[in-house]
């Protein structure tokens, strides 16, 4: 695992729940790749997780990865809560089923291939990659809405 990849990701939602988007930047040395997408009725937290998932899915071989996000939900989930959820049969501290279990399980599956470090940064605070990921996510929401309107006019 000599390759070191940086993944920056963000999620956004217009209404929560509502139309959501995610944006991801992958960086390997001086090479960058941007990814984005959107979904209909979803939540901000689902989009935050999806941004990380899409970044990890884009990796073709095991790597050392630093995932940088403004989502404490994502970082704390992966670094603090996940082991307890699994140990307790996917229930949280309130004895309720873990929300977004499908995405947490996908993240767990993807991170098993890599050596992953999770880094939190304050959102909307001038961090260039975070601002770009937010713009990608919001652009995906706009594209989703435009396509939905186009289809409705048919």
Looking at residue 40, its pLDDT comes to: 94
Mean pLDDT of the chain: 96
Tens of pLDDT, residue by residue over 4-24, are 999 999 999 999 999 999 999
The pLDDT value recorded for residue 3 is 80
Q: Which of 15, 117, 124, 147 is catalytic?
A: 124
The percent of residues in the chain predicted with pLDDT above 70, rounded, is 99
**What strand order describes the sheet that includes 64-69?**
31-42, 18-28, 4-14, 64-69, 115-120
Q: Specify the CATH superfamily of domain 4-153.
A: Ribonuclease H-like superfamily/Ribonuclease H (3.30.420.10)
134 is in an annotated binding site: yes
pLDDT in tens, 113-123: 999 999 999 99
**pTM for the whole thing?**
0.95
Q: Which of 6, 11, 77, 129 is catalytic?
A: 11
Determine which one of 6, 39, 129, 134 is catalytic.
134
Q: What is the three-state SS of 24-88?
A: EEEEECCEEEEEEEEEEEECHHHHHHHHHHHHHHCCCCCCEEEEEECCHHHHHHHHHHHHHHHHC
- In whole angstroms, give the CA distance from residue 45 to residue 90: 17
Q: What is the residue extent of each domain of the chain? A: 4-153
Task: Give the model confidence (pLDDT) of 42-53 as tens digits.
Answer: 999 999 999 999
**Who wins on pLDDT, 124 or 85?**
85
User: Do the annotations mark residue 48 as ligand-binding?
Assistant: yes
Active-site residue flag, 10:
yes
Residue 154 has pLDDT above 90, yes or no: no
CB-based contact 73:126 (threshold 8 Å): no
- Determine which one of 6, 39, 48, 129 is catalytic: 48
To the query of whether residue 102 is one of the catalytic residues in this protein, the response is no
pLDDT value for 1:
58
Query: Has 102 been labeled as part of a binding site?
Result: no
């Amino acid at each position: 695992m000599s390759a070191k990849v940086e993944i920056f990701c963000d999620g956004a939602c217009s209404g929560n729940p509502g139309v959501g988007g995610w944006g991801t930047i992958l960086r390997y040395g001086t090479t960058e790749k941007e990814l984005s997408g959107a979904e209909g009725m979803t939540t901000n937290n689902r989009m935050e997780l999806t941004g990380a998932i899409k970044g990890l899915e884009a990796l073709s071989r095991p790597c050392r990865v630093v995932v940088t996000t403004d989502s404490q939900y994502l970082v704390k989930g992966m670094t603090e809560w996940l082991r307890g959820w699994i140990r307790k049969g996917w229930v949280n501290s309130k004895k309720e089923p873990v929300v977004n279990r499908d995405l947490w399980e996908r993240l767990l599956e993807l991170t098993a291939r890599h050596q992953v470090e999770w880094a939190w940064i304050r959102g909307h605070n001038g961090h260039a990659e975070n601002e770009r990921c937010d713009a990608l996510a919001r652009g995906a929401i706009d594209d989703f809405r435009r396509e939905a309107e186009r289809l409705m006019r048919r």
